[in-house]
Structure 1
Amino acid sequence: MIDELLGRASLKERIEDLEDENERLRERYEAESDRRAEAATARQEAEQRVNRLEDRIAQLEGELEQVDDADDGVAVRRRIQVRGRRLEAILDRLDSFRTGPEGALTVAVDEAGLPESVRSTLEEPLGDRVALLEDAAPCLCCVDDAGLIAVALSPPIEPTLEPTWDDGFAIDRGTFLPTGRHALALVRTDLFALGVYDGDERVDYRGFESDVKGSHSKGGFSQARFERIRDEQIDDHLERCREAVATRRGDVDRLFVVGQRGVVDTLVAEAGLEPAGTAAVDATGDPESALEDAVRSFWTTELRVL
C-alpha cells in the first residue's frame, strides 16, 4: 500500500522490466561473443591452412626449378646491367678481340629465334648453351669458334645484324650508346620531357606537366562523364607533346620515345613519327628529373655471359 502511495510500485515494475531486458541483452551478447570467438578461431585455422599451403607451393616450385635445372643442365654464367663508361669498356674489349679468318661470329637474335643454319654452327662452340640465346632475345650474340668468348647483349635499340663471320666482332656502337645528335622524349599521360643531346651531353630541354584527372572518385561525376573528361585532357596533352616533338625533330639525326607503353605507341602513331627506338620506362618526379631517370634506364644494356 505504501509503495503504491509513494509511486514505488510502478518504479519497481519498470526496474524488473529493465532487468529482464538486460538479461536478454546479456544472453544475446554472450551468444554473439561465442559466435565471434568461433568465427575468429575458424579464421585463424583458415589462415594457418593458407600459410601451410603457400609454404608447400613454394617448396614444390623450388623442387620444380631444381628439376628444370637438372633437365636443362645450362644456365647463364653471369648477368649484369651496364651503361655509360662501363659499357664502353666492355665494347672496347669485344672490339679488340681478334682471331683467324671467319673465327668470330656476330649475329642478331630476334623474337623469332635462331635460323637453323646459325643454330647448327653455334652448337659446336656453345653446345646446349644455344638455348640461352633465345631466352635473351632480342639480343646481339658474339661468339668465337673456340668458345672462349660467348656473350649475349640486349642493347636499347634492337639489333638487326645478319650473321657475320670475320676475324673480329661487328658491333655498331650506335645501338648501345647515345652517339651523334639525337633527341629522347619521355611521355606519360600527364607529363612530357624532351632532351636534345650531342653524344651524352644534353644541349636543349623542354618539359611540362598537364592537368589530367587521376583515378575516378564518385564525388559528383558519373563514370562515363569522368572518363570522357579524362580522355579529352589526355588528347590535349598528347597534342602538346606532338607540337613539342615537331619543333625539335628536324634538329636531330635520331629520335627515341620512351615512357608509358600505350601512351608512347599512341603518340608515335598519331604524330607519324619514325623513332629509332622506343621503350617502356618507369620514370617519376618532375619533368627534368624524370627525363634523367628515363635516359639512364633507356641507355642500359643487359649483358649475359653464356
Structure 2
Amino acid sequence: MTALHTGPRTEDTPSPPPAPARRSRTAWLGSDRFLAIATPALILVLWEVLARAGVIDTRFFPAPTAIVGRAVEMLGSGELLEHTWISVRRLLIAVVIGGVPALLLGLAMGLSRKLRAALDPIIAATYPVPKSAIFPLFLLVFGLGEASKIAVVAVGVFYPIAVNTVAGVREIAPIYHDVGTNFGARRWQVFRTIALPGALPLILTGFNLAFGMALMLLVVAEMLGAKSGLGFLIWNSWQTFQVENMYVGLVVISLLGFLFALLVKLAERLLVPWRGTDERADPRERR
C-alpha cells in the first residue's frame, strides 16, 4: 500500500559548490602575498597619476616611469651596476668582519656567566653610541680608503648580532644543558650541539637587523668619504641636482634591503625548520 501525498513533492537540492577556479581566485585576492604586491603597486600608480596631473612637483618627486627610464639608462651604461657592486662588496666584507666575532663572542657570553658579567657593561655602554658619529675617528685612524668605511659598518653589524646571540643562548631551557652535562659533553660539544642550534632563531633575527644597520651606515660612509658606491651616487646626484639619479640609488638600496631580508628568511627555513612561521602559528590569520 503506497502512501498518499497531500501536496506537491519537493526534494532538497543542495546548491552546487563553487568552482575551483573561483575559490582559488578568491583565496589569492585575500592572501597576504596579494596584499604585499597590491599595496606598493597602488602607491606607485597614485604617484604616477599625481605627477602626470601636475599635483606634485616633478622636480622633487619625478614620476616612477621617469625613474625607471633613468635606471635603464644607468644599467645600459654600466654606472649603476658598478656602484651597486662596490657597495655590496663593502657590505659583505663588513658583515663577515663584524658578524663572525659577534657570533662567537655572543655564544661564549651566553654560556659563561663570568664572561657575561665582565663584558655586559661595556656592550651596554657602547651600544647606544651612534656609529655614524664615530666615523670621523675611523677616518683619522684608517684614512680615506676602504678600511674606514668597512670598519664603521663592521662595528654597526657587531652589536645586534652579539646582543641577539647572547639572548638566544640564555633563552635555551636549562634542561638541555643538564642533559649535555649528564652525558659528559665537552664544552665544544655543548657549544656546537646545544648553544648554537638553540640560539639560531635569535641569531638570524640579529643578522636581519644587522643587514639593515649595515646598509644605513654604508650609505652614510660613502656619502662622507667615498668616490664610488650607492651612497656616493645619491650624494653626487643631490649636489648636481640629478633628482632621478638620486631616486634610482634610493630604490636600489631598498631592493638590497628586501633581498637580504629574503635571504635571512630562507636561511631560517633551512637552518631552523622546527620553528613555526607566523602563518602556521596562528591559523586565524589565514581567514
TM-score in terms of structure 2 length: 0.28
TM-score in terms of structure 1 length: 0.26
Greater Rg, structure 1 or structure 2?
Answer: 1
Higher strand share: 1
Higher helix share: 2
